Structures are given as structure tokens and as C-alpha cells.
Amino acid sequence: MTMPLENLAINTIRTLAMDAVQAANSGHPGTPMALAPVAYLLYNERLKYAPQNPLWMARDRFVLSCGHASTLLYAMLHLSGVQQFENGQPTGELAVPIEHLQRFRQLGSRCPGHPEWGHTSGVEVTTGPLGQGLAMSVGLAMAGSWLAQKYNRDGKDLFGFRTYALCGDGDMMEGVSNEAASLAGHLKLSNLCWIYDDNKITIEGDASLAFSEDVGKRFEALGWNVLKVADVNDLAALREALDAFDAEKERPTLIIVKSVIGFGSPNKAGTADVHGAPLGEAEVALTKENLGWKFTEKFFVPQEVRELFAQGIGTRGAELLDQWTADWEAYRKQYPQEASELKQIQAGELPAGWGEKLESWPENAKGVASRNSSGKALNQLAAGIPWMLGGSADLAPSNKSDLVFPEAGDYSPENRGGRNFHFGIREFAMAAISNGMATTGLRSYCATFFVFSDYLRPAVRLSAMMRLPVLYLFTHDSIGVGEDGPTHQPVEHLAAMRAIPHLVVMRPADANEVRYAYQWFAENRTLPMALVLTRQNLPTFPRGENACACACNVARGAYVLCENVNPATGSCDVILMGSGSEVQLCVEAQKQLAEKGIFARVVSVPSMELFAMQSPEYQESVLPKSCKKRVAVEAGIEQGWRKWLGFEGIFIGMSDFGASAPYAELYSHFGITTDAIVAAALLF
């Protein structure tokens, strides 16, 4: 008896997943085997997607939040014929050639253990840490609705898109998914569909060991449209549920799909054994036989299956793209300004005159808190970049992260074009949502107190891994928080953030360093930045000839702010360095040391990461090896400073948690003072 063609295609997905995991002797075959029908329908029938151009701006987005099931996605990218793009251009290769699937989880393969954005075309976001894919899908849905509101004209839906996310029990257990679902329900994101694989199995065994809630009722309470499919293999029921999502205009949709993990395996289906380990050669053979698979060759794709996908997503995608391209040409002629902005968004470019409103600050001994100078610079920059948008985790009045110019507006169900996002007290989801938005080319930012960076650190890590230029605004940066006490005083957080590769941590010393930090962020296209800001005032240093060096040097990470040169040696006697609010202490210490005949150089170190990227010659010009007498000052722990201090240098900072008192008293109590710096310099 001949297997129906759709079933043959679905079983092809299953066998590719089984073979890939078995070849690697590592991976998660069970979920791809179970969810092959969902993936088949989405790709071959539903997604507005063109394999010829996986960067098409109007495409639907598919997020595999259960990233451990990566072979499911890789199989779909291979069967759909998705093309590989590098630097925005096609390479002429498939994103997933069969040879790469055969080398699943191996070095150099475009099929790593979990999907990686920017590595394999067709992967919309990096997933694997459970729950984050769902939160990023909310960001994608928000971005899609924002682009549609901002740029659609004449009733044509040229720029909006739908977002689908596939998830499992682990995603549902992670708190970040509930944060994101709560916000999505509140915002009525009807362009968002989550498909929940309710298979009741986790790595340890039955999900009932730790999970017994009614997920459907939870999502109904969160304002979602909840649908149920009793059997994932019932294609008619799946189609009906997806039709219901299409018809829903007021709520996001959750489709709860019952499946059997490891479907088809005679001895392991429905068990934890098939969740996170290969089936074994013998069980693979038995499973293929049980599925009615007649082919003995591994990684085999029947020709009729290739033709089915070519006639499905291949033909449909090409027609959709051709029609959209024609509509785009008409749009481009009728709305040249909007078209230019859209091209810049997709290319990661900036509009002409984007930084013209960024202002420099005059010398001011009293100064201004860097959270306040940041608020002004943020608005000045966003006024010049119409697609810069973001918000705070309910702290905008404190961290000055609101866009206050009249045309900014608040994003809401009634105003999808607003640029101020109210994330609520959901730090982790906020950051992950910002990642999702950033993958579309929008310049996203988010804000909270620095101590709460602990809540969102996993999303910052993915920002850095995906090389997304997300801006993290962290205020209340040290014991300078004062009376709120140690629970709100970040001590170890600078070191923790600096430990993340590809994250630029920027702690500016005055308002002009803040201004140039924003300029660096705007010009950067591939790195996230954590901008760490004070609540207390910082003096604005004099700049220019016979004064402090230009704050534009923040782009180099560290620079000589000011120095006194020993006329006898032509160099300094000691180097004083710090970041943020402690640089002013170094400047005062320099003056006191001069009175004692000690000639000091003050080095502002707003970003260790950017300084580490500079040439050895520049680093030597700032921190000459010949001067081993160095003092570093920062209201945080020492970790990370020793590289720049050397073995003989002295660190002045924190070694314990803070305390509750006015901030000036705390600096004195913990010995972070001008007198302490002077005393340390005199020890050499």
C-alpha cells in the first residue's frame, strides 16, 4: 500500500531528525518526531515565506522556542530549499545542505545543537534557553504590528507579519514565558500564535513530577484565545486551529496540541528515554519500519517529497514575494521617504542627520546625574532615528527612559505606532522582547535599575551571542543609591556584565561621556551596550584646550582625561584610573598629589571592552608599561581591574555588600574617597 504523500513528507521530517541525532550520537529526537505534522503544515501551507529570500522583510516569523528540537527546524529549512545569505546577500548555497545535517552538532556545520541566529539563514532567533524564544516572539509580534502601523498605506498589508512560536512543557515552566504571555495578552497581540506541544514528558520523566497546572486556563486568564487539538497527527484539526488563529483579531492565540514524544518508536515513544538521547541504531530501524518507511539509505529524501515542497512553499513563496516586490516598487515611488526608512531599517543604516540634535554640555561643577543626561541624550538621538523605540520595567520616571517629544506616543492596542513601551515589572521578558524587536532592524532599548540586571542577564547574554545592538539602560549604579540599602546597591554587577563576551559595558564619568556613549551606540551595528548610570550628580568636566580631553574618546574605551607631567622625567609618576562617578575622585586626588610634588595622570575608563579592542600602541599611550604605579577606583568589586592595574597596582572599591545611609556617608564609610586615593598613591 502506498503511503499518502503528506504522510510521506511528515515521515521524511521524522527520519531526517532521527538520522541526524543518531549520526551525532547526541541530541533530542523525540520532539521533532512528534511535531513533524505541525512543522509540515506551517512551512508548506501557512507561512508567508519565500525560501529564495529568507531576509524578506514582510515574511512571517517562525520561532522554535524549544530549541533542543533543532533538527525539526533544520529538516524544514532543507526540505523548503531555504537559501543561505551572508552579509545580506545570497551565497548560492542551501542554508542546510544535507551534508550539514549529516554533521549535526559538529564543528563547522550550519546545524549546531541549538539554532543560532546569523549562523544559519532561516533561523529567526537563537533559542535553546527555554522560554526566551517565546519572549522574543512577543518582541517580533510587537515589531510586526509597529511596522504595519508606521508604514502600511492604502489598506495594503505590506510590512506587517505574523509570528508563530513552537514550545513545550519546559518553555511553559520557565517564568519568562509567563511574563511575556502576560504582556502579550494585555497588548492584544493578535498577530502572535504559540503552538504548545503538550506531550507530558520532560528529561526526568513524566511532567507530572513537577507540573500539573491547567495551562489553557492560565492563558485564558492572561487574555489569550486558547484552542486545543487532541492529536497532532490530525492534519484537519491542525488546519482548523490555524484557521481560527487567522480569524482572531483581538487576542494572541495559544494552540495546545497533544502529541506523543518519539512518535513511531515501538519501545521508546511516550517516554523520557527519547527526549534527550539518540534512539540507537536498532530502535531507529524498528521505528522506520513501524512508520512504513521503505528506504534503507540514511538521510534519504524521496523525490516526490522534494517536489511536494517545491510546489508548496517553493511556488507559493515565490508568488508571494513577486507580488510583494511589485507592490513595493509602487509603494517606493509613491512614498519615497517611508521606503527609504524601511531600506535603512533592513540594512542597519542610519538616516541623514541622525545625530544633529545630540548636544554637548558646558562645564558645571555641580553637574548632573548621568541618568538625567542620559534621558536628554536618549531623546535627542531617538528624535533623529525614527525607528528607535523602547521602554522600562515600570521605572521610567526614575531611569529617565521615556521618549517625551510629542510624536513619540505610547505603544498600546489602540496605538501600535507608539515608541514608548510599558513592559511592566517584567525585566527578563523586557530584555528578551527587545532582542526580538532588534532582529527586525528596529533600534530597541530597555531600562531598569542596575541591581535588577540579575533578572534579565540571560537575555543580555543572547543579545551578545546574536550580536544585536540592543541598548540596556541601567541606572542607580552603585552604593550611590544610598538609603535604599544593600538590596538595591549593585556591587558585583559591573564585573558580572563585563564577563559577557561581545557586551560593551559603558559607565560614563560625566554628561559629555554620556552624549558620546550614545553616539557610539548609534554608529555600532553588531554589539549590545549596557549603559550604567548614576542617580547622584556628577560634575561636568571642562573640555578643550588646557582642559580635559574630548569626551569623544569614550569610543576608545579609556583615555587620558588630564595629567600632570613630571618635568624631570617628562612623564607621570602615578596613574589614577576609574569609571563613572569615581573619576571625579581621581581628578581631585590629582590636585592634592600635585601639592605634594607627585605628578599624576587621570585615565577615564568608561568601557574596558572597547579599550581592549584598541591597538597595543594606543593602549600603551594610555597606560604605559613603564608606569607600574597605578590606582584604580570604582564603587564595585575589583574583578576585571587587575588586567589594567598589573600586579603592583592598588584597587579602591567594594569587597562586601553596601549599607543603608546617605550616599556621601557610604563612600566615606567604605573608603572610596579622595583621601584614600592620595594615600594609596603615596604608598608606592
Residues near 436 by Cβ (< 8 Å), separated by ≥ 6?
125, 135, 136, 137, 138, 139, 140, 141, 142, 143
Decide: 33 and 111 in contact? Cβ < 8 Å: no
State how far the alpha carbon of 336 is from the alpha carbons of 59, 343, 351, 382, 668, in Å: 22, 10, 13, 21, 59
Collapse the DSSP code of 293 into the 3-class scheme (helix H, G, I; strand E, B; otherwise coil) and give the result: coil
All three cell numbers of 358, joined, read 545630540
Which parts of 122-188 fold into alpha helices (H)? 132-151, 169-173, 175-187
Decide: 586 and 576 in contact? Cβ < 8 Å: yes
Q: Give the distance from CA 389 to its chain's centroid.
A: 15
Collapse the DSSP code of 183 into the 3-class scheme (helix H, G, I; strand E, B; otherwise coil) and give the result: helix
Return the amino acid letter for 216: G
The span from the CA of 257 to the CA of 265, in Å, is: 19
How many alpha carbons lie under 13 Å from residue 540 in its C-beta half-sphere?
18
* Per-residue b or e along 337-348, where b marks 16 or more CB atoms closer than 10 Å to that residue's CB: ebbebbebbeee
End-to-end Cα spacing for the chain? 89
Quick one: 171 exposed, middle or buried, by C-beta within 10 A (0-12, 13-18, 19+)?
A: buried
β-pairing verdict for 89-94 and 192-198? unpaired
All three cell numbers of 144, joined, read 510586526
Question: Would you give the DSSP letter of residue 555?
Answer: G
The span from the CA of 278 to the CA of 307, in Å, is: 29
Q: Give the distance from CA 177 to its chain's centroid.
A: 15
- Which entry of 116, 248, 283, 427 is annotated as an active-site residue? 427
Question: Which of 535, 266, 510 has its CA nearest to residue 399?
Answer: 535
Neighbouring CB atoms inside 10 A of 92's CB total 7
Catalytic site includes residue 617: no
State how far the alpha carbon of 305 is from the alpha carbons of 10, 41, 524, in Å: 9, 14, 44
Active-site positions read 427
